[in-house]
Amino acid sequence: MLYILLCNAKYNSSHGYFMTTAEKEEKTQEKWEVQLRKGTLELVILAALQHRTLYGLELLKLLQSFKSAAITEGTLYPLLDRLKREGIVDAQWVQEGDVRPRKYYSLTATGHHKLADLITLWRQSVLDVEFLLAHPGPDALPVQGE
């Protein structure tokens, strides 16, 4: 019995360490604004590239002109790299005149489909939140549906 208890104590303590650290880490990152920006980032980038071809710096300046989409170079470029690997965006080096070559990004067919999916999710999410906000208590929520 004692053996089992000792084993359990050891098991629990090691797992306990993991839990608390993970939770602490979560806590510091759990600023809602940061989470929201993170969650919408992919949608924002795909929307910015909709029927538009932009190079990195251009895209960055565009995103930074919006309060909710201000990200850094260090976030944007690795993300573009991932989107390219996933076949969502395409990239091409273009040299215009005597300026240095720039890498231009555009949506692929897959990217357009992905954008359509994300738009549906986003709009539903906004509708749901707005619905709740428009119907505060204490009255019961009206049955949803048009």
Q: List residues near other proteins by CB under 8 A.
A: 3, 6-7, 10, 13-14, 17-18, 21-22, 25, 56-57, 60, 72-75, 77-78, 81-82, 85, 100-103
Shortest Cβ 146–other proteins spacing (Å): 42
Shortest Cβ 32–other proteins spacing (Å): 21
Count Cβ atoms below 10 Å from residue 10 Cβ, excluding itself: 10
Shortest Cβ 25–other proteins spacing (Å): 6
Are the C-beta atoms of residues 45 and 79 closer than 8 Å to each other? Answer: yes
For residues 77 and 122, which CB has a smaller minimum distance to other proteins in the complex?
Answer: 77
For residues 46 and 60, which CB has a smaller minimum distance to other proteins in the complex?
Answer: 60
Shortest Cβ 58–other proteins spacing (Å): 9
For residues 25 and 30, which CB has a smaller minimum distance to other proteins in the complex?
Answer: 25
For residues 42 and 122, which CB has a smaller minimum distance to other proteins in the complex?
Answer: 42
Using a 10 angstrom Cβ sphere, with 0-12 exposed, 13-18 middle and 19 or more buried, the burial of residue 108 is: middle
